[in-house]
Amino acid sequence: MKVVKFGGSSLANSTQVNKVVNIVKADDQRRFVVVSAPGKRFDGDIKVTDLLIQYAKATLNGDPSDTITGQIIARYEEIATAFQIPQSAFEAIKQTILNLPHHDYQDDSYLMAAFKAHGEKLNAILIAQVLKASGVNAKFLDPKEAGLVVTDSPDDAEIIPTSYDRINEWADSKLVRVIPGFFGYNDQGQICTFSRGGSDITGAIIARGVKAKRYENFTDVDAIYAANPQVVHHPIAIHNMTFREMRELSYAGFSVFHDEALIPAIQGDIQVVVKNTNHPSERGTSITSHKRVNPAYPVSGIASSPNFCGIYIRKYMLDKKRYSQKILKLLAEYDLSYEHMPSGIDDLTVIMRQDQLTPELEDTLIRELVIALRPDEIHISHNYALLMVVGEGMANRTGIMSKATDALARQNVKLIMVNQGASEISMMFGIKQDEAKVAIKALYDTFFPDL
């Protein structure tokens, strides 16, 4: 049995949906279909989820929303019309969209979650009808009915482990079950969404719950590549990688697969395969617990993520006075997360994502740190990028760090931070954001010289 998930680009219009129908029909083991909301049809287009966010904001502000609802309805209607879905059936989808403002919501955050989640929910209802009209014995399955219960966090929910037993009760279903991604229900029956990109998470949860042999994630690329194709010309495809490698690379900027989605797959030891809806016969990328390492290529991938900042703090005896505990406590008070904290005897740097900070919050944080620590020096630097080199073949190998730093030095890339992962399968460098592309190219040419 297989669980398949289709992303927004795979469901953007009737042409793409027809490809999805053919993929589902091509393999009778594909019995659980998880869908995203319709995505962009072309550059400059607006995703349905973003339209629903606009709709929610208009509702909260008491602004007119006829234009927005018209755009949302039109996206679903184009697909319904192409597959000759009866108008009476589509009318229910239309009325659901128009009635969204008239439900009772616990507060504004739950309203926003419900509006966003209906992009997936209505698309799952529609895709089930499309599959049935195309000769597939398919039926919509709501996450509540499936047993997908989540924590009470409207926009950052997590699966409650007992849900897996309830989901498993659907494992023997003879129908093709079409399930909306991105959300579940809390104990009170309110919709709560996963973090953005959470349809990947739903797919992995369903795969673990029904104990699927394979979780296929269909998107718009033929495979996951060793470097960003927008930076490196024709990088090699990674056809086999481990969960650990994918987690590291996703954290550092690989956006093909949501990094949190791997956790249920890891827990269930389920093979994940990333494939292209437009070229379903291509091999794609298989992600598993283990892989055979090619000693000639110890590095599997190189990635970079922008928009970090660093708070530098210097104070004599910094390592003796438990100052790091005070720093972490202060960050927690302001609900701020940090990524790394490289330190020395008398100084340290707190690396964090700078989109967490407004100018006002930044000033407040620095002021509070001065009061708490009385540092000899403190300042914040912006526009860092974190550069990651990842590969299972790096473990127990000498010279990898030297090759990487030499490659960066030849391009005059200044290293602000260096961090060797405890697992030995990753190295991280902090660099200036405007040097990231040069750095990626230099590392790719070094570790993949003949490809």
Binding residues for substrate, as ranges, are 49, 120
Binding site per annotation, positions for ATP = 5-8, 219-220, 225
170 token code pair = 């659907």
- Contact assessment for residue 442 and residue 408, using Cβ atoms and an 8 Å cutoff: yes
> How far apart (Å, rounded) are the C-alpha atoms in residues 430 and 23?
42
50 token code pair = 């973003």
25 token code pair = 């029909």
27 token code pair = 């393999």
> How far apart (Å, rounded) are the C-alpha atoms in residues 14 and 12?
7
Buried b (16+ CB within 10 A) or exposed e, 279-293: ebeeebbbbbeebeb
**In whole angstroms, what separates CA 170 from the centre of its chain?**
26
Query: Residues, the chain, total?
Result: 451
Binding site per annotation, positions = 5-8, 49, 120, 219-220, 225
349 token code pair = 């740097």
> How far apart (Å, rounded) are the C-alpha atoms in residues 147 and 171?
12
- Burial label for 450, CB within 10 Å (0-12, 13-18, 19+), is exposed
